[in-house]
Amino acid sequence: MNLGWCLVAPFLALGACSLLHDALPNDPPTVHLARMTCQSPGAASLDTLINSADAVCRVQRGGEVRFEIRATDEDDDPVFYEWRAPAGGSFRDAQAQETNSWFAPQTIVGSSEQFVVQVLVTDRNCNAIAVPDLADRQRCAEDARVLIENFLVEVVQREPLLEVTTDATSAFSAPQIVIDAFGTDPDADRLEYHWEPVAGDSLSIWSEEAIQDEETGRQIGSRATVVAFFPGSHKLRVAARDGAANTEREIALHVSIEPPLPAGGTVPLVLPTGQEYEIDAYEYPNTRGERPQSASFFQAARLCAVEGKRLCSPNEWRTACQAGQTRRFSSIDDLVAYDSRDHFGVRFCNVPGSAFSHFSTNPVEQLAPSGSFPNCGGATGVFDLTGNIDEWIADIDDAGDLAVYIAASSVSESSDCDGATRLGILSIEGQDPYDIEVLAEAVADWTLQNYEQPLLGFRCCR
């Protein structure tokens, strides 16, 4: 049919021309311009990218990407645009046409996540047809030609920056170790900090507190107070989290015994009366690394005499334990601080709650080699007066006889520096109480002459 004829005789041929138009093929729209504009994290200016297969806009979480698209239809049909973001994010205007903005999600998975923003370009606006007219909508959808333009956006999560020492040293005598960590976030996110031991229970995080800027009050870091329950090398981990990304650092802690413990020997001390004396650093055999030896009273006295020493008196024992103060225990550690722990390692002394008593139910195996508890005597250098094994002690009473005591300090006792219990009196009738022959004769008639317990030992004085 001649199109000019349709124009000359419009009224006669209106129906025929309409049928001709419907019979012509409906070509899809053609996109002439598709571009996106964004600002990459850390960049000083905006990037404008012409859309292509390898064009990727990079933005931070919550960042904005601006889109512009231009299309025409060869059939002179009107062009409509429909914006979609199947994987998330939001549009400034869901009904926008040629220009729109998409905002990235506030949270993503991992350090980066890719999103596809789609624009459906069509020559039919089927959504404008009323919902009840389903048949009309169906015909519209069948007639429509759709072009899909995909824009690729990468949303990045920059990891927090974390500054902390990677190597720290401390003396085991220090009750706590304080470590500071400072964090910043390139995306200006709020950071949360977390501290934890890397393995085992040799360390405990005593407390965590925020470090704040003095002027703004903003948190700029975290301070951890750490307790090491054993000397040696330990590892600690700190993490800074911004809600999506996580930055971790490991800290090597080297906890040493300072000064080094003596191999044995005696410690010179002074009684409150001004009298000088010496006391063994450890329980007999007074050797670091060896377990204390049990003995009867006479065996203990004789072994001390062989070394030119004697059993310690209650005053000498108490003075060494209290270190010239009114101390309840001989340790420089505070036992109350470990109440919430299953065990406190080799801190404090070898009493219930120590590593030795915690990991064994055998009383003999609970005895620790001398020097195992470096802080149990740190005030005077006389170790294990609290804890480990009970000790024989003796003194001349007002009548000149020998009073025999047990200083109850074993792992099975809740004792303190005043924990001496008198067992009896040995009559020596004015003789030398430290003469072994005199002592042997006095002990012969004593009901406790053979009294010996696995957890009853001694140390010597002179």
pLDDT tens profile 393-448: 999 998 889 999 999 877 655 567 887 899 999 988 888 888 889 989 988 888 88
Identify the pLDDT of residue 411: 65
CB neighbour burial string for 285-312, b if at least 16 within 10 angstroms, e if fewer: bbbbeebbbbbbbbbbbebbbeeebbbb
Enter the pTM of the model: 0.73
Burial of 10 (0-12, 13-18, 19+ CB in 10 A): exposed
Q: Which of 120, 116, 124 is nearest to 148 (CA)?
A: 120
Identify the pLDDT of residue 199: 86
The pair of three-digit structure tokens given for residue 413, joined into one six-digit string = 């006792």
Rounded Cα distance between 414 and 428, Å, is 33
Q: What is the chain's mean pLDDT, rounded?
A: 89
The pair of three-digit structure tokens given for residue 64, joined into one six-digit string = 């904005």
pLDDT by residue (tens digit) across 364-394? 899 999 999 999 997 899 999 998 999 999 9
CB neighbour burial string for 97-127, b if at least 16 within 10 angstroms, e if fewer: eeebbbbbbeebeeeebebebebebbbbebe
Collapsing DSSP to helix, strand or coil, 308 comes out as coil
pLDDT by residue (tens digit) across 296-316? 999 999 999 999 999 999 999
Per-residue pLDDT band at 214 (split at 50, 70, 90): very high
Rounded Cα distance between 372 and 230, Å, is 10
- Mean pLDDT confidence for 100-116: 91
